[in-house]
Chains A and B, each alone.
Chain A
């Protein structure tokens, strides 16, 4: 079946490095994507979203890139900080009668000081 998945389950970086978290999706009909951050013991928190008519979107220290040709999504975090340590999920919006989000498994980002 169609699903959203991630290439790397765990990513370890040094403080100050740039981080790139990847996500593959397989539903070509998906036209809206969201990245969420989940800290330990908390619910997911919205980071940034992107529509399928865009290739790139920037936020504060974060950039999301969308490559529809290969169905790939990435989240770039600049100057990674220890507070960025969390699990990051991508989610796709699949339109049906009502649209809902389908989440991938998540990538754990570990930032060492």
Chain B
């Protein structure tokens, strides 16, 4: 199993540009998540999905969009990038969301800079 994979590893965007961060998991997990991590801070939940076709907002969804057309993939879309979106983005997945099923497995992260 590759686990959770993310692409790209690094990217520089210009203000106002758009891009999609890719995330794939091969563990047949139902739940997937996108977090952002600012320097010296913890992770903040952007969006999550409990299954194909179902997504919901997390703590900091503004400026982002997601889709979940398959169990494996959960891309994160940035529209009209702003400097405030400079961060490290982590994708994660878990088998479920209930007790004992919520161990989240994280990808290696995408370091995004908006200039």
Given contacts A98-B50, A100-B97, A106-B42, are A42 and B103 in contact (CB under 8 A)?
no
- B102 close to A89 (CB less than 8 A): no
- A99 close to B102 (CB less than 8 A): yes
- A100 close to B45 (CB less than 8 A): yes
With both chains docked as a complex, state the minimum distance between the C-beta of A111 and any C-beta of chain B, in angstroms. Answer: 19
With both chains docked as a complex, state the minimum distance between the C-beta of A30 and any C-beta of chain B, in angstroms. Answer: 11
The contact string, 1 if C-beta is below 8 Å from chain B, for chain A 60-101, is: 000000000000000000000000000001000100011111
Q: Which residue of A lies closest to B111 (CB)?
A: A41
Q: How many positions in chain B have a CB within 8 Å of any CB in the partner chain?
A: 28
Pick from B40, B59, B109: contact of A43, CB under 8 Å? B109
Q: Which residue of A lies closest to B54 (CB)?
A: A98
Q: Does B108 contact A (CB under 8 A)?
A: yes
The contact string, 1 if C-beta is below 8 Å from chain A, for chain B 35-71, is: 1000011111100101000001011000000000000
Which residues of B lie under 8 Å from residue A15 when comparing CB positions? none
With both chains docked as a complex, state the minimum distance between the C-beta of A97 and any C-beta of chain B, in angstroms. Answer: 8
Q: Does A51 contact B (CB under 8 A)?
A: yes
Q: Which residue of A lies closest to B96 (CB)?
A: A99
Which residues of A lie under 8 Å from residue B74 when comparing CB positions? none
Q: Which residues of A contact B (CB under 8 A)?
A: 4, 31-32, 34, 41-46, 49, 51, 89, 93, 97-106
For the complex with contacts A43-B109, A98-B97, 19 further pairs of A-B residues with Cβ separation under 8 Å are: A4-B42, A31-B99, A34-B103, A34-B104, A42-B109, A43-B90, A43-B107, A43-B108, A44-B90, A46-B103, A51-B99, A89-B42, A93-B99, A97-B56, A98-B50, A100-B58, A103-B35, A104-B42, A106-B40
Q: Which residues of B contact A (CB under 8 A)?
A: 4, 31, 33, 35, 40-45, 48, 50, 56, 58-59, 90, 92, 97-99, 102-109
